Amino acid sequence: MRGPWRFLALLAGAFVFLFPFYYMLVGSLQTEPDPSVTGAFPSAGNLTGHNYAEINAAIDLGRSLLNSGIFTGGVILGTLVFGVLAGYALARLQFRGRGTVFNLMLLVQVIPFQLLTIPLYVLIVRSYGLADSYLGMILPFAINSTAVFVFRQYFLQLPQELFDAARIDGAGELSILWRVAVPLVRPALLTGVLLTFIGPWNEFLWPFLITKQQDLQPLAVSLSNYLTTVSARAANPFGAVLAGACVLAAPAVALFIVFQRRFISSSLESGVKG
């Protein structure tokens, strides 16, 4: 009997978890706002896509999505490249001060990004002159200490025999990293992509400081401006807010659905004979 009860418990948990997303989607399609419980089951005559059309007319969803893609893609690329290189160095290379560097990296993680906003703004905008540019938005997030920590822990789990055999065959460190280590830590790479994606995709403070040009603003910034200035004048402000939330959440949900089957641990011992 444990099987059916466990299934029912998991089904109830899934319903509780998914209901807010369902309610958000249904609310974004309502012609007339209905914030009550009955609003979760609207009639066909109360459904429309006008809320999404109003958002597109106000902020140009296509351009905003492209800006978010460039911003987020640049951050992900920087995180993976620098994170893998730094994580491998901290895990597998022997050099003086390695422990100190690792401890400093852990210390950086406890400092809130908000405390660094003003000095970063002065550095990026005034010193580097990168205002109103994608590069100015990407640089502060290009190196993620959490990703470095995750990659380091994965590289530490790899058998030392793999690296010794590669070095005996004459492979250099970059060759070992690319041909031996990286293929065995794909779950970490996928996890790093998803976790890195969520941060810059939802970030609105820093891009808003870097540029006030609407044609450069990511989706989160454009939606924030829309929800605070335009949505109140919409025919259905409640639906407009939920439509904006749906637009912002949809890419993250799609990315998770695509990658969720790949979040599995790899067999790290498979490359060792015996």
Domain count, the chain: 1
Whether residue 33 has pLDDT greater than 80: no
So what's the pLDDT on residue 31? Answer: 83
Residue 83 in domain: yes
Domain interval for residue 203: 62-218+252-262
pLDDT of residue 268: 46
Signed CA dihedral, 50, 52, 55, 57: sign only:
negative
- Taking the CA atoms of 113, 116, 122 and 127 in sequence, report the sign of the dihedral they define: negative
Most confident by average pLDDT, 9-23, 121-135, 169-183:
121-135
Tokens linked to 66: 């492209």
Q: How confident is the model at residue 121 (pLDDT cuts 50, 70, 90)?
A: very high
Number of neighbouring beta carbons within 10 Å of residue 214: 14
The mean per-residue pLDDT over the stretch 134-155 comes to 90
Q: What is the pLDDT of residues 219-248, one digit of tens each?
A: 889 888 887 777 667 777 788 888 888 888
Instruction: Tell me the CA distances in angstroms from 223 to 54, 71, 189, 202, 220, one per residue in order.
Output: 12, 16, 30, 10, 5
Rg (CA), the chain: 23
Is the predicted pLDDT of residue 266 greater than 50, yes or no?
no
How confident is the model at residue 263, as a pLDDT? Answer: 57
Q: What per-residue confidence (pLDDT) applies to 70?
A: 94
Looking at the domain assignment, is residue 109 inside a domain?
A: yes
Q: Is the pLDDT of residue 49 over 70?
A: yes
Residue 67 lies in a domain: yes
6 within a domain of the structure (yes/no):
no
The pLDDT assigned to 265 comes to 46
What is residue 262's predicted lDDT score, i.e. its pLDDT? 64
- Whether residue 180 contacts residue 88, with contact meaning beta carbons closer than 8 Å, is answered with no
> Would you say residue 161 lies in a domain?
yes
pLDDT for 2: 66
Pick the range with the lowest mean pLDDT from 97-111, 161-175, 260-274: 260-274
Helix, strand or coil, per DSSP, at residue 155: helix
Q: Which residues of 84-119 are buried (b: 16+ CB within 10 A; e: fewer)?
A: bebbbbbbbeeeeeeeeebeebeeeeeeeeeeeeee
Q: Does some domain include residue 82?
A: yes
Q: Are the C-beta atoms of 248 and 220 separated by less than 8 Å?
A: yes
Q: What pLDDT score was predicted for residue 255?
A: 81
Give the model confidence (pLDDT) of 172-208 as tens digits: 888 998 888 998 888 788 878 888 888 899 888 899 9
Residue 141 in any domain: the answer is yes
pLDDT attached to residue 267: 45
Residue 271 in this model has a pLDDT that exceeds 60:
no
Mean pLDDT, range 92-96, rounded to an integer = 88
Residue 244 covered by a domain: no
CATH of the domain at 197: 1.10.3720.10
What does the pLDDT average to over 20-40? 81
Lowest average pLDDT, out of 40-49, 117-126, 189-198, goes to 40-49
The total number of residues written for the chain in this structure: 274
What pLDDT is stored for residue 132 in this prediction? Answer: 92
